[in-house]
Amino acid sequence: MGLKIYLDGAFVDEEEAKVSVFDHGVLYGDGIFEGIRAYNGRVFKLNEHVDRLFNGSRAIMLEPPVSKEEMKEIVLETLRRNSLKDAYIRLVVTRGKGDLGLDPDKCPKPTLFCIAAGIQMYPEELYENGLEVVTVPTRRNTPETVNPQMKSLNYLNSIMAKLEAKLAGVEEAIMINNEGYVAEATGDNIFIIRKGRLVTPPAFLGILEGVTRNTVMELAEKRNIPVEEKVFTRYDVYSADECFLTGTAAEVIPVTKVDGRTIGSGKPGEITRTLIQDYKELTKSTGTEIFL
């Protein structure tokens, strides 16, 4: 049986879940989205994801067609309709149907949809041995272009980097900004660890302020591991003791090779392994109840 998709106020079969070719989400990537996880009957960090969706919408002057509370209920109801306790949820609001011009004012009604489906994670082996990544030629968009702080439907910047990673024979890229500072991966944030301190780029540099990133920072602080939001370069990654990526889908994943350089011992480090466990525990024990 196919999935039940929420689309503009109704639940429809996945074959029926279609948007117009005149939707500016399709024509121009004009919209905002979220990726959310449910674990064991609870939605993890639902408020944070919905807040980020609304913040991004505000930045592009797109008013979601429902309130935050209604949006959360849509997520929960989509999970119920699909009897999903563990899922990856995609929540999308687009500018809606307009004409062939760019003008958002010609799009009277935003499109809203929510998909809840199974999860595709990296293979377990990578969590034990670490991921190999490369830096790529495509630079991260700067904040004064399409600010990566908005999770906009325009993901070509990340897709270019993903293509370049795959051409280099690996699955993920680290993106550098125009000034040579490390920004983030194509769909994940980056952390390095040096002398027992966690370092991650500040959001103003032009990165998505990941919900997982912020959660991991809190988990580290709980363990009295110092955390700094600081700019750093490729050199700092190559010479780090440990490195990992964070994201809703990937959770916390160790990185053990960057541009052919072995990071630390070449195995996931102590602090990374601790944070992987702490994150797992938290996803198991917290979240908004779905009431299936």
Please report how close the Cβ of residue 93 comes to ligand PMP at its closest, in angstroms: 16
Identify the residue among 82, 158, 256, 283 touching ligand PMP (CB under 6 A). 158
Please report how close the Cβ of residue 34 comes to ligand PMP at its closest, in angstroms: 8
Strands 4-7 and 111-117, how do they pair?
A: antiparallel
Identify the residue among 98, 187, 201, 264 touching ligand PMP (CB under 6 A). 187
- H-run or E-run covering 243: strand 242-247
Per the annotation, the verdict on 106 as an active-site residue is no
Going through 2-136 in order, the beta strands assigned E by DSSP cover 4-7, 10-13, 31-39, 42-43, 87-94, 111-117, 131-135
Please report how close the Cβ of residue 216 comes to ligand PMP at its closest, in angstroms: 9
Phi-psi region of 29 (alpha: psi -120 to 50; beta: other; left: phi over 0): left
Identify the residue among 5, 79, 165, 211 touching ligand PMP (CB under 6 A). 211
Question: Is residue 35 a contact point for ligand PMP (CB under 6 A)?
Answer: yes
- H-run or E-run covering 184: strand 182-185
Question: Is residue 184 a contact point for ligand PMP (CB under 6 A)?
Answer: yes
How far apart (Å, rounded) are the C-alpha atoms in residues 44 and 42?
6
Please report how close the Cβ of residue 255 comes to ligand PMP at its closest, in angstroms: 14
- Please identify, using beta-carbon distances, which residue of 97 and 251 lies nearer to ligand PMP: 251
Question: Is residue 201 a contact point for ligand PMP (CB under 6 A)?
Answer: no
- Please identify, using beta-carbon distances, which residue of 64 and 187 lies nearer to ligand PMP: 187
- Please identify, using beta-carbon distances, which residue of 172 and 184 lies nearer to ligand PMP: 184
Question: Is residue 56 a contact point for ligand PMP (CB under 6 A)?
Answer: no
Identify which of 205, 164, 210 has the alpha carbon closest to the alpha carbon of residue 187: 210
How far apart (Å, rounded) are the C-alpha atoms in residues 243 and 191?
6
Identify which of 107, 163, 105 has the alpha carbon closest to the alpha carbon of residue 134: 163
Please report how close the Cβ of residue 261 comes to ligand PMP at its closest, in angstroms: 23
Question: Is residue 188 a contact point for ligand PMP (CB under 6 A)?
Answer: yes
Are residues 8 and 121 in contact, defined by beta-carbon separation less than 8 angstroms? no
- H-run or E-run covering 185: strand 182-185
- Please identify, using beta-carbon distances, which residue of 64 and 98 lies nearer to ligand PMP: 64
Strands 131-135 and 227-229, how do they pair?
A: unpaired
Question: Is residue 157 a contact point for ligand PMP (CB under 6 A)?
Answer: no
Identify the residue among 57, 111, 189, 256 touching ligand PMP (CB under 6 A). 189
Catalytic residue among 4, 45, 72, 151: 151
The amino acid that residue 91 corresponds to is L
Counting residues that bind ligand PMP (by CB under 6 A) gives 14
Identify the residue among 213, 217, 256, 276 touching ligand PMP (CB under 6 A). 213
How far apart (Å, rounded) are the C-alpha atoms in residues 11 and 3?
10
* CB neighbour list of residue 11: distance below 8 Å, 6 or more residues apart: 4, 5, 77, 78, 81
How far apart (Å, rounded) are the C-alpha atoms in residues 85 and 88?
10
- Please identify, using beta-carbon distances, which residue of 209 and 242 lies nearer to ligand PMP: 209
Question: Is residue 93 a contact point for ligand PMP (CB under 6 A)?
Answer: no
Q: Using CB under 6 A as the criterion, which residues of the chain lie in contact with ligand PMP when the complex forms?
A: 35, 158, 184, 187-189, 208, 210-213, 246-248
Residues acting as catalytic residues: 151
